[in-house]
Chains A and B, each alone.
Chain A
Amino acid sequence: MIRTPLRPLARILSARARGENPDSIERENIRLRQEKTRDRDRARAEGRLLLLGIAFTMAFTVIGGRMGLLAATEPSEPRTAASGAQILAGRADLTDRNGRILATNLLTHSLYAQPKDMIDPARVAGELARIFPDLDAKLLLARFTDGRSFMWVRRKLSPEQMQAVHDIGDPGLLFGPREMRLYPNGRLAAHVLGGASFGTEGVHSAEVIGTAGIEKYLDAQLRDPALEGKPVALSLDLTVQATTQEVLEAGMKMMNAKGAAAILLDVHTGEILSLVSLPDFDPNDRPQALLKGDPADSPLFNRAVQGVYELGSTFKIFAAAQALDLGLLESSSMVDANAPMVWGKHRIKEFENRNYGPLLSVRDVIVKSSNVGVANIALMIGAARQQDFLKSLGFFGPTQVELVEAAGAKPLIPKRWTDIVTITASYGHGMSASPMHLAAAYATIANGGKAVRPTLLRVDRPQDNPRVMSNDTAVKAIDMLRGVVTEGTASLGDVEGYQVAGKTGTADKPKATGGYYHDKVINTFASLFPAGDPKYVLIVTLDEPVETTGPVPRRTAGWTAVPVAAEITRRVAPLLGIRPIIEPAAADAVTLIRN
């Protein structure tokens, strides 16, 4: 670039000769130079703006064109996509913790009719009634001939039925594919699984929706296409569940009970390994809910989660543990246990009007299950602190188990927490809770004092919840519970090698009209094992049991719920892989059992 000098010598000399100011020439030149620079910059900026404008226009044109194309064309599946990417519309399977199927889908067919295409409605009605005995030929014929153009005949068909209908050969009978929910294990874990039915129905497909239990609770997750039908693993163990159910059913019959429930809980992870409620039902053919009467009489009623009962003496350990935790007492401290105790107009009595007093150590209060002793401990603690403690154990709200029924089972808590409520609540009367609440509370003790939230989904790590009581207190409480089994009311519950610790509870059933029955009880045994290093909590509840082998019918938990729980422990603990803490029997002892 050639730079024009600002002060060209020739022009300056001539200007000087003319007597002009040569500086004006320099200023003029500077002005010209600046103008040139400005023009160049403007041209460059304009060029850039143009380029940018073109780029934006092209980009928006492409996007707009693509949008228009997408809007105008028919949607189609990407045919070349890999097979794994396809959308699976099916409901996800439910499996147990080891991947064994608890609920799956099966493709069947539904049968519908288009009477306008039907050639011989009378014959079709007769044939259908022959294949499906519950259909009425006359009613069918009336429906086929009343001018309607569409009707459902059956929701689900077996392949044999489908073939038989096919053989009728009428063009007015048509089949539509149906995904059907199948529970291959039948009645096993029925209350956990709940059941499923059809939601919105079309000819070509139907929604499968959960109607109860975990199927309803996890409905959105199970139907979520984004999860691609990935099976959901529950915490249940099929083998343990089957064994528990078998033993509990036998025990319920032997003890002449109306109903029974059992919960087996892993105390570290909070996983429910087994949840049985009897009587049960087949989720493949879920019975209708009762429209009147007590819902608890229906087999659909989940006693373990929905059944809110006064759980009796199983509550005593909470008062004792709290007193130890607050430092009010030691397990060897003596408390007043002089029965009967009079409080206002109430008389607190012991079982069969015994008297364990006048003084009893805290450990013996639990071991002998003294109502008066524990009432005095509760009075020492006071109403406010007792409420706080029971609240931290989860007794004041519904459990958070993954079942729709759980949210509705709120514990029954008296509105005013008077002193007499403090006394009765300490031995499990006056307030009601479900066996699941009790399982969570006992798991808290077994877990070294840290709260445990029971869950039905498989988790792989221990829970880390806030501490409710100190580890030291928990160890002492477990020692007391072990005492109940070795020397107290639950002596039938000792399973050799498994160091069962637990507490019995016998509560009279409340009458609907007020007051209590004297010959109807709820028996509960809350246990944990092995006491040295607790791993599992087992709750067994029997409804109206009576043990009749003796001369007098016996209704205490020690004679009914405890032996059943012991048998469950004996059968289930080896399945859980716990080695008995004994020398194994000699080989010929095994042969003896066989003979």
Chain B
Amino acid sequence: MRPILYALSFLAVMGLAFWAYRENYATQKSLRHVEELQAEISTLREALAVQRAEWAYLNRPDRLRELSTINFDRLGLFPLEPTQFGQIGMVSYPLPPTLAPDGTPDGPGTAGQSGTPSDPDAPDSDSAKAEGTITPQEEQVP
């Protein structure tokens, strides 16, 4: 009984030593990795600081003002003025669904139903547009 106990404890010591050896190297590897990550984080932080500074520099009010003056033709930006405040009543309310020129209601539900039977007519209206006739549009105006 006793020799078996000796052998088992010896094996246990060997096993634990192997485990400790591996753990030691695994820990050292993780520490190196953490160091690398921290170095990377600090370089990224530095880069971030530079980019923030650059962003602030490129967005400085003087430069934006100059750019909006240079590109006035395209952008048409004005300084904010008191007259630019609107009232809620000035925003047009969404219009109720109007009747399409052919008399069918121009709603999303009915469009699919009316579309299927009038398929043969569809190419006609397309070709009419292609020829440049403006009559359908004029009808829609009133």
Contact with B82, one of A106, A243, A573 (Cβ below 8 angstroms) = A573
A184 and B57 contact, CB distance less than 8 A = yes
Contacts of A107 in B (CB 8 A): 46, 49-50
With an 8 A cutoff between CB atoms, is B108 at the interface?
Answer: no
Q: How far is the CA of A443 from the CA of B43 in the complex (A)?
A: 47
B60 and A575 contact, CB distance less than 8 A = no
**Size of chain B's interface in residues, with CB distance under 8 A?**
31
B50 and A243 contact, CB distance less than 8 A = no
Give 14 pairs: A residue, B residue, CB < 8 Å, sorted on A: A79-B31, A86-B38, A100-B56, A101-B55, A104-B56, A105-B53, A185-B61, A242-B65, A243-B79, A574-B82, A574-B85, A580-B85, A584-B84, A589-B83
Contacts of B34 in A (CB 8 A): 79-80
B85 and A104 contact, CB distance less than 8 A = no
With an 8 A cutoff between CB atoms, is A8 at the interface?
Answer: no
Which chain B residue shows the least CB distance to A573?
A: B82
Q: How far is the CA of A239 from the CA of B65 in the complex (A)?
A: 11
With an 8 A cutoff between CB atoms, is B106 at the interface?
Answer: no
With an 8 A cutoff between CB atoms, is A246 at the interface?
Answer: yes
Contacts of B31 in A (CB 8 A): 79-80
With an 8 A cutoff between CB atoms, is B81 at the interface?
Answer: yes
Contacts of A573 in B (CB 8 A): 82
B86 and A186 contact, CB distance less than 8 A = no
Q: Give the shortest distance, in Å, between B114 (CB) and chain A (any CB).
A: 37
Contacts of A186 in B (CB 8 A): 60, 62
Task: Evaluate whether A238 and B61 lie within 8 angstroms (CB atoms) in the complex, with A104-B56, A584-B90 already known.
Answer: yes
With an 8 A cutoff between CB atoms, is A18 at the interface?
Answer: no
Q: Considering the complex, which residues of chain A in the window 163-222 have a beta carbon less than 8 Å from any beta carbon of chain B?
A: 182, 184-186, 188
Q: A185-B60, A590-B84 are in contact. List 15 more A-B contacts (CB 8 A).
A: A80-B31, A105-B49, A106-B49, A107-B50, A184-B53, A184-B57, A185-B62, A188-B60, A188-B61, A238-B61, A574-B80, A575-B80, A580-B82, A584-B87, A585-B83
Contacts of B59 in A (CB 8 A): 100
Q: Give the shortest distance, in Å, between B43 (CB) and chain A (any CB).
A: 10
B82 and A570 contact, CB distance less than 8 A = yes
A83 and B52 contact, CB distance less than 8 A = no
Q: How far is the CA of A256 from the CA of B80 in the complex (A)?
A: 27
With an 8 A cutoff between CB atoms, is B23 at the interface?
Answer: no
With an 8 A cutoff between CB atoms, is B112 at the interface?
Answer: no
With an 8 A cutoff between CB atoms, is A571 at the interface?
Answer: yes
For B31, B80, B82, the residue with the greatest tally of chain A CB atoms inside 10 Å of its CB is B82
Contacts of B83 in A (CB 8 A): 580, 584-585, 589-590
Which chain A residue shows the least CB distance to B37?
A: A83
Contact with A571, one of B46, B50, B62, B79 (Cβ below 8 angstroms) = B79
Interchain Cβ contacts within 8 Å, total number = 84
Q: How far is the CA of A83 from the CA of B33 in the complex (A)?
A: 13
Q: How far is the CA of A490 from the CA of B46 in the complex (A)?
A: 53
A242 and B61 contact, CB distance less than 8 A = yes
B62 and A594 contact, CB distance less than 8 A = no
Q: Give the shortest distance, in Å, between B138 (CB) and chain A (any CB).
A: 25
Q: How large is the interface on A (under 10, 10 to 19, 20 to 34, 35 or more residues)?
A: 35 or more
With an 8 A cutoff between CB atoms, is B41 at the interface?
Answer: yes
Q: Give the shortest distance, in Å, between A265 (CB) and chain B (any CB).
A: 21
With an 8 A cutoff between CB atoms, is A44 at the interface?
Answer: no
Q: Considering the complex, which residues of chain B in the window 31-45 have a beta carbon less than 8 Å from any beta carbon of chain A?
A: 31, 34-35, 37-38, 41
Q: How far is the CA of A569 from the CA of B57 in the complex (A)?
A: 27
Task: Evaluate whether A246 and B65 lie within 8 angstroms (CB atoms) in the complex, with A79-B34, A106-B50, A496-B82 already known.
Answer: yes
B56 and A101 contact, CB distance less than 8 A = yes
With an 8 A cutoff between CB atoms, is A126 at the interface?
Answer: no
Q: How far is the CA of A106 from the CA of B34 in the complex (A)?
A: 26
Contacts of A27 in B (CB 8 A): none
Q: Considering the complex, which residues of chain A in the window 553-589 have a beta carbon less than 8 Å from any beta carbon of chain B?
A: 570-571, 573-575, 579-580, 582, 584-585, 589
Q: How far is the CA of A186 from the CA of B60 in the complex (A)?
A: 8
For B37, B46, B56, B59, the residue with the greatest tally of chain A CB atoms inside 10 Å of its CB is B56
With an 8 A cutoff between CB atoms, is A497 at the interface?
Answer: yes
Q: How far is the CA of A107 from the CA of B52 in the complex (A)?
A: 13
Give 1 or 0 for each of A29-55: 1 = CB within 8 Å of chain B CB: 000000000000000000000000000
With an 8 A cutoff between CB atoms, is A498 at the interface?
Answer: yes
With an 8 A cutoff between CB atoms, is B123 at the interface?
Answer: no
Contacts of B38 in A (CB 8 A): 83, 86
Q: Give the shortest distance, in Å, between A544 (CB) and chain B (any CB).
A: 26
Q: How far is the CA of A239 from the CA of B60 in the complex (A)?
A: 9
Contacts of A104 in B (CB 8 A): 49, 52-53, 56
Which chain B residue shows the least CB distance to A246?
A: B65
Task: Evaluate whether A182 and B53 lie within 8 angstroms (CB atoms) in the complex, with A79-B34, A80-B31, A246-B65 already known.
Answer: yes
Q: How far is the CA of A590 from the CA of B81 in the complex (A)?
A: 10
With an 8 A cutoff between CB atoms, is B76 at the interface?
Answer: yes
Contacts of A188 in B (CB 8 A): 60-62
Q: Considering the complex, which residues of chain B in the window 84-138 have a beta carbon less than 8 Å from any beta carbon of chain A?
A: 84-87, 90
Contacts of B76 in A (CB 8 A): 594
Q: How far is the CA of A434 from the CA of B80 in the complex (A)?
A: 31
Q: Give the shortest distance, in Å, between A570 (CB) and chain B (any CB).
A: 7
Which chain A residue shows the least CB distance to B80?
A: A574
Q: How far is the CA of A483 from the CA of B85 in the complex (A)?
A: 26
B82 and A498 contact, CB distance less than 8 A = yes
Q: How far is the CA of A43 from the CA of B2 in the complex (A)?
A: 43
A570 and B53 contact, CB distance less than 8 A = no
Contacts of B82 in A (CB 8 A): 495-498, 570, 573-574, 580, 582
Contacts of A582 in B (CB 8 A): 82
B49 and A579 contact, CB distance less than 8 A = no
B61 and A239 contact, CB distance less than 8 A = yes
Contacts of B46 in A (CB 8 A): 107
Contacts of B50 in A (CB 8 A): 106-107
For A83, A184, A495, the residue with the greatest tally of chain B CB atoms inside 10 Å of its CB is A184
Contacts of A593 in B (CB 8 A): 78
Which chain B residue shows the least CB distance to A188?
A: B61
Q: Give the shortest distance, in Å, between B67 (CB) and chain A (any CB).
A: 14
Q: How far is the CA of A495 from the CA of B81 in the complex (A)?
A: 11
